[in-house]
């Protein structure tokens, strides 16, 4: 039974000879005992009082009479509310389309980036295998790089020393460079590299 249920008039007993097992069954309270199905049917007696259609019955038990069955309960008033904020929906929809739409803003490049992009568009082609062929862009004032021979030589010597200490690394390096050359990503230069005077 629901907590604090109003007893319909049909259950109010005019006959005081009927003794309920729980006179306050309709009020919420702690549960005294739970009975299993096998014991429940053993405590039932034969007597029943039918209170009418869609109404509970009174069932006699070894402990007194119990109220069983369903009770028609008048519907409680229900309040249903809905708050719809159309502006928030509009804002969310606008943000969705701003995210999903491709940007129409023109990207601003520096003069150097513009030159690089122009060079790429003018010189990039595909070979017969479908690979891109890209010419290496070089700056106009290549002389401004300075003298890098000493730096390159030091790096080369340091790499050679690593290979002496770690032969496995040397083998991997040679394999990689061979594959790089076989794929056409680099070629050997034919002319002799001048040594530093």
Q: Over the stretch 165-186, which tens digit does the pLDDT of each residue have?
A: 999 999 999 999 999 899 888 8
Interatomic CA distance for residues 145 and 57, integer angstroms: 104
Which of 72, 95, 126 represents a domain boundary (last residue)?
Answer: 72
Which residues lie below 8 Å from residue 145, measured CB to CB, with a gap of 6+? none
Put simply, whether the predicted model's pTM sits higher than 0.75 gets the answer no
Q: Residue 101 domain-assigned?
A: no
Q: Residue 153 domain-assigned?
A: yes
Q: Over the stretch 112-132, which tens digit does the pLDDT of each residue have?
A: 888 888 888 898 998 888 888
Which residues lie below 8 Å from residue 5, measured CB to CB, with a gap of 6+? 26, 71, 73
* Domain residue limits at 35: 1-72
Q: How far is CA 134 from the centre of its chain?
A: 41
For residue 102, is pLDDT > 80?
A: no
Q: Residue 93 domain-assigned?
A: no
């Amino acid at each position: 039974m629901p907590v604090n249920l109003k007893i319909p008039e049909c259950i109010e007993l005019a006959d005081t000879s009927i003794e309920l097992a729980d006179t306050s069954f309709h009020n919420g309270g702690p549960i005294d005992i739970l009975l299993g199905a096998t014991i429940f049917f053993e405590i039932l007696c034969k007597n029943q009082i039918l209170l009418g259609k869609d109404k509970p019955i009174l069932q006699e038990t070894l402990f007194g009479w119990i109220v069983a069955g369903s009770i028609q309960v008048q519907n409680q008033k229900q309040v249903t509310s809905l708050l719809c904020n159309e502006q928030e929906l509009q804002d969310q929809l606008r943000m969705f389309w701003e995210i999903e739409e491709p940007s129409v803003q023109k990207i601003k490049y520096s003069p150097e980036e513009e030159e690089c992009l122009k060079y790429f568009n003018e010189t990039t082609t595909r070979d017969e295998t479908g690979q891109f062929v890209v010419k290496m862009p070089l700056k106009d004032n290549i002389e401004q790089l300075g003298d890098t021979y000493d730096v390159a030589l030091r790096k080369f010597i340091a790499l050679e020393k690593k290979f002496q200490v770690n032969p496995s690394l040397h083998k991997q390096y040679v394999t990689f460079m061979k594959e790089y050359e076989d794929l056409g990503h680099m070629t050997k230069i034919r002319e002799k590299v001048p040594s530093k005077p």
